[in-house]
Structure 1
């Protein structure tokens, strides 16, 4: 089994590595406005696509598994876990809000 990597690629691939790291690290913060909006939503978050958010959850589960089992790259894994958490939070809050809305209108 290989050791965990903390190294960035060298040469031209370094640009790609840093672009991935920075764009995905910043992406974590973009979940906050969506979480707040869905949490405040009083119509069951009907305008939010659960199919889309759950597909992103599944994609982030695969990315997390890839980082853990194949790459063994700690920064990649941590970013994948944060993105999984953000997508999962939005999806779960939306499911919760829809259930509340259904109970209210029933």
Structure 2
């Protein structure tokens, strides 16, 4: 994504390598999925051995980092939706001589 004058730095940093809204949605959904993985499930299902082997996280540190990051990605996508649009990135590439 190209940074223009009106784009805040926090939006550019979140979506600098994302060119489409679909790519932003994939980033957000994968962040949500990893956030769910980061819940310390081991603390709630202590009797199941396969949960201990599958879910290695036993504290809330990763979840507490992933949730704000996912919110940041979502807010950045909403900013682009409202203020710039996703077509601008592809229009800039088409206008530049190759």
TM category, shorter:
0.3 to 0.5
| Higher radius of gyration, 1 or 2 | 2
Greater relative contact order (Cα 8 A, min sep 6): structure 1 or 2? 1
Structure number having the greater helix percentage? 1
